[in-house]
Amino acid sequence: MTAFRPDWTATVTSGGRVTIPKPVRAFLGIEPGATICFEPMRDGEIELQVVRSELVRANQPRSRFAQLRGCATVKMRTDEILALTRGA
């Protein structure tokens, strides 16, 4: 066990939320939107791991909008498309 560092401590709210102290975030390279994983160890300690965003995205199904991104094959200008959709 390492020495107690008051600036590396956090309090759990009644809703179970914890704000990770800034020096801890900097040390671990945690940025806004990062996903972290709590891994239980055999000795009873918990290991905190930062899950890289590309791994999280790879395991999530793509949205139906993301699946369509880049699928347009018609080479029309916006005013031509609007004329078609408005029946002009």
CATH number at residue 13: 2.10.260.10
What is the model's pTM? 0.50
Q: 78 in a domain, yes or no?
A: no
- Taken in order 73, 78, 79, 82, the sign of the CA dihedral is positive
- Rg over alpha carbons for the chain, rounded to the nearest Å, is 24
Q: 83 in a domain, yes or no?
A: no
Residues 40-52: what's their mean pLDDT?
Answer: 87
Q: Across 21-25, 47-51, 53-57, 77-81, which has the greatest mean pLDDT?
A: 21-25
**What is the domain extent for residue 53?**
6-63
Q: 75 in a domain, yes or no?
A: no
When divided into structural domains, the chain yields a total of 1
Q: What is the pLDDT of residue 14?
A: 94
